[in-house]
Chains A and B, each alone.
Chain A
Amino acid sequence: MFWFFATILVFAALRVITARNPVHAALFLVLAFCTSAGIWIQLEAEFLGIALILVYVGAVMVLFLFVVMMLDINLTRLREGFWSYLPVGAVVAVLLILEMMVYLIQPYFGLVEAPRPDAAVAGYSNTKELGRLIYTDYVYPFELAAVILLVAIVAAIALTLRHRKHGKYIDPAAQINVRREDRVRIVSMPSVKKETPKDGDPS
């Protein structure tokens, strides 16, 4: 099963950078997220796996696609710099692979000697354990991260928020508070009898 997911993951990740169409690239990224969530669930990290789908696939990538679809992207201009950027990209990729190899293969970090974790006992809830850890042992780092994210959100909104001078925005409260008497005047008047039309008169 691992090889199944891993093959799809590597294929999708490669297509993200080689796909001609940006929308296709974004969709391949979605596929890559889904398969890596599958790998996580296989590692019995079901909370993280589902959270990955929920956050990245369900929200972030939707907005990504949203933007990519609306942009008028000039494909030839986009591909112009491919060869000039290739060496830099290759160096970064090789460095990343080396770092991962150092971490995984070298005995310095003790990863190889680390014992394989026991299989989860029945009734063990991944989510509950994670929640307990976050809100007890790691509560300060967690809250700190939350505040930093909040600041980022407020900053992003504050930077882009503009009030248009002559916008047509209507305050909903004002709309609801409108009373009939402000808009319509009911006039009482006696009914008027219509004169009978003459022959040949279309009205």
Chain B
Amino acid sequence: MLDSLLAYPQELLGPWWPSVSSVVWTLVKILIIVVPLMLCVAYLTLWERKLIGFMQIRIGPNRTTFFGISWLAGFAQPIADGLKLLVKEIIVPTGSNKFLFVLAPIMAIMPALAAWAVVPFSPELVLSNIDASLLYLLAMTSLGVYGVIIAGWASNSKYAFLGALRSAAQIVSYEIAMGFALVGVLMAAQSLNLGEIVKAQQGSAGLFSWFWIPLFPLFMTYVISGVAETNRAPFDVAEGESEIVAGFHVEYSGMTFAVFFLAEYANMILISMLTAILFLGGWLSPFPASWGVLGASSFGWLILKAFIVVSTFIWFRATFPRYRYDQIMRLGWKVFIPVTLVWIVILGAWMQTSLWIWWK
């Protein structure tokens, strides 16, 4: 069936067939990752509103439904929101820099999606199995700040600009702590390849052989810096409503705003996925192998772990009041960076002794 379908374009393209087919095939693979990701983003917004609703003893969105089925009440909310944003007018403010104004949301979502190229979903299932994937991820997450900065500057609005400045300073500071946390992971795993890092966490002790035990301070630093990197509460001063209206995206409407929103949530899912891969054993099962399906390592475990981490992010938002800006800077520079530096030195010494039991 597939062969007969492919015969015609093969004949048509002749010698160019291999290069064209590899490009098309890669595009198909990208779509296979991005389309479910976008659906996850849509339903993450619903889950966030529902979960915060439960925590605040409310119901959350419960009106929109598919075909009037009552038990699906609320489940069409992301679709409805998406449609609303899609048909809204995009207003480009006068005096703004139009090209950069439109470029900013693209710059925000591009790294958020590009980073998924190296995320392994199972031992074999990864779009691009490169050796330096950890470095690549660090580079991609550091590019996300450009969307925010360009948006703030191109809007030609003071609130947006203040938001962009806050966000830029915050992301640059927390990136360092995040990078040091990753240094600890690569020391323990002896590899920059994410698949290898998960394999290095395989051990007889189940969930105690994952890296969250030996790297516990780095694990905490990574999670909290991840919240700060994605500009989520309690570190969301970049869009602090009570101070600067909506921060860097105050002038954006319709689809341009939606793209910022998508980028933020895609980044959230990315960070939780990475936390699961780097510290929580990725697709490895927490149970012994004799437990049958539960003991087998599978894609489901990775999703479950990422889901738990992402729910913790939402929990943070429902629980903590917003940090004051100087406290954010203090936490990043004076607490996290020294903690990670000290732990890297301890880790280096620890790995030289026989007390280190996290080898394969």
Chain A: residues with CB nearer than 8 A to chain B? 23, 27, 30, 46-47, 50-51, 53-54, 57-59, 62-63, 65-66, 69-70, 125-127, 169, 172
CB distance from B63 to the nearest CB of A (A): 41
- Tell whether, in the assembled complex, residue A51 and residue B175 are in contact, meaning their CB atoms are under 8 Å apart: no
- Expressed in whole angstroms, the Cα–Cα distance for A46 and B131 within the complex equals 9
With beta carbons under 8 angstroms apart, the residue of A27, A50, A59, A63 that contacts B132 is: A50
Query: Provided the pairs A54-B139, A59-B175 are in contact, do residues A69 and B131 lie with their beta carbons within 8 angstroms?
Result: no
- Tell whether, in the assembled complex, residue B327 and residue A172 are in contact, meaning their CB atoms are under 8 Å apart: yes
- Tell whether, in the assembled complex, residue A50 and residue B139 are in contact, meaning their CB atoms are under 8 Å apart: yes
Query: Provided the pairs A50-B132, A127-B132 are in contact, do residues A65 and B149 lie with their beta carbons within 8 angstroms?
Result: yes
- Tell whether, in the assembled complex, residue B165 and residue A66 are in contact, meaning their CB atoms are under 8 Å apart: yes
CB distance from B26 to the nearest CB of A (A): 15
For the complex of A and B, list the 9 residue pairs with the smallest distance between their C-beta atoms, beginning with the closest: A58-B142, A53-B139, A54-B139, A50-B135, A125-B131, A50-B139, A69-B153, A46-B132, A66-B168
- Expressed in whole angstroms, the Cα–Cα distance for A69 and B161 within the complex equals 9
* Highest count of chain B CB atoms <10 Å: which of A53, A57, A58, A62: A58
Query: Provided the pairs A23-B153, A58-B175, A69-B153 are in contact, do residues A127 and B165 lie with their beta carbons within 8 angstroms?
Result: no
Query: Provided the pairs A57-B143, A58-B143 are in contact, do residues A66 and B131 lie with their beta carbons within 8 angstroms?
Result: no
CB distance from A135 to the nearest CB of B (A): 12
- Tell whether, in the assembled complex, residue A50 and residue B136 are in contact, meaning their CB atoms are under 8 Å apart: yes
- Tell whether, in the assembled complex, residue A59 and residue B143 are in contact, meaning their CB atoms are under 8 Å apart: no
Chain B: residues with CB nearer than 8 A to chain A? 100, 130-132, 135-136, 138-139, 142-143, 145-146, 149-150, 153, 161, 164-165, 168-169, 171-172, 175, 192, 326-327, 330
- Expressed in whole angstroms, the Cα–Cα distance for A127 and B327 within the complex equals 36
- Tell whether, in the assembled complex, residue A127 and residue B131 are in contact, meaning their CB atoms are under 8 Å apart: yes
Query: Provided the pairs A54-B142, A172-B327 are in contact, do residues A62 and B131 lie with their beta carbons within 8 angstroms?
Result: no
- Tell whether, in the assembled complex, residue A30 and residue B132 are in contact, meaning their CB atoms are under 8 Å apart: no
Contacts of B135 in A (CB 8 A): 47, 50-51, 54, 127
Contacts of B136 in A (CB 8 A): 50
Contacts of B146 in A (CB 8 A): 30, 62
Name the residue on B nearest A169 (C-beta): B326
- Expressed in whole angstroms, the Cα–Cα distance for A27 and B136 within the complex equals 21
Contacts of A51 in B (CB 8 A): 135
- Tell whether, in the assembled complex, residue B142 and residue A57 are in contact, meaning their CB atoms are under 8 Å apart: yes
CB distance from A145 to the nearest CB of B (A): 18
- Tell whether, in the assembled complex, residue B153 and residue A126 are in contact, meaning their CB atoms are under 8 Å apart: no
- Tell whether, in the assembled complex, residue B149 and residue A62 are in contact, meaning their CB atoms are under 8 Å apart: yes
Contacts of A65 in B (CB 8 A): 149, 153, 168
A sample of 15 cross-chain residue pairs with beta-carbon separation below 8 angstroms, ordered by A number, consists of A27-B100, A27-B150, A30-B146, A50-B135, A50-B138, A51-B135, A53-B142, A53-B143, A59-B175, A62-B149, A66-B165, A70-B165, A126-B132, A127-B132, A127-B135
* Highest count of chain A CB atoms <10 Å: which of B130, B143, B326, B330: B143
Name the residue on B nearest A175 (C-beta): B327
CB distance from B115 to the nearest CB of A (A): 12
Known: A30-B146, A69-B153. 20 other contacts (CB 8 A): A27-B150, A46-B131, A47-B132, A50-B132, A54-B139, A57-B139, A58-B143, A59-B172, A62-B146, A62-B172, A63-B172, A65-B153, A66-B149, A66-B168, A66-B169, A69-B164, A125-B131, A169-B326, A172-B327, A172-B330
- Expressed in whole angstroms, the Cα–Cα distance for A53 and B192 within the complex equals 17
CB distance from B252 to the nearest CB of A (A): 18
- Expressed in whole angstroms, the Cα–Cα distance for A53 and B137 within the complex equals 11
Contacts of A172 in B (CB 8 A): 327, 330
CB distance from A88 to the nearest CB of B (A): 32
- Expressed in whole angstroms, the Cα–Cα distance for A58 and B176 within the complex equals 11
- Expressed in whole angstroms, the Cα–Cα distance for A46 and B146 within the complex equals 22
Contacts of B100 in A (CB 8 A): 27
Name the residue on B nearest A68 (C-beta): B153
Name the residue on A nearest B141 (C-beta): A58
* Highest count of chain A CB atoms <10 Å: which of B135, B165, B171, B330: B135
Name the residue on B nearest A124 (C-beta): B131
- Expressed in whole angstroms, the Cα–Cα distance for A63 and B192 within the complex equals 27
- Tell whether, in the assembled complex, residue B142 and residue A126 are in contact, meaning their CB atoms are under 8 Å apart: no
Contacts of B139 in A (CB 8 A): 50, 53-54, 57-58
Contacts of A50 in B (CB 8 A): 132, 135-136, 138-139
Contacts of A127 in B (CB 8 A): 131-132, 135, 192
Contacts of A125 in B (CB 8 A): 131-132, 192
- Expressed in whole angstroms, the Cα–Cα distance for A57 and B132 within the complex equals 18
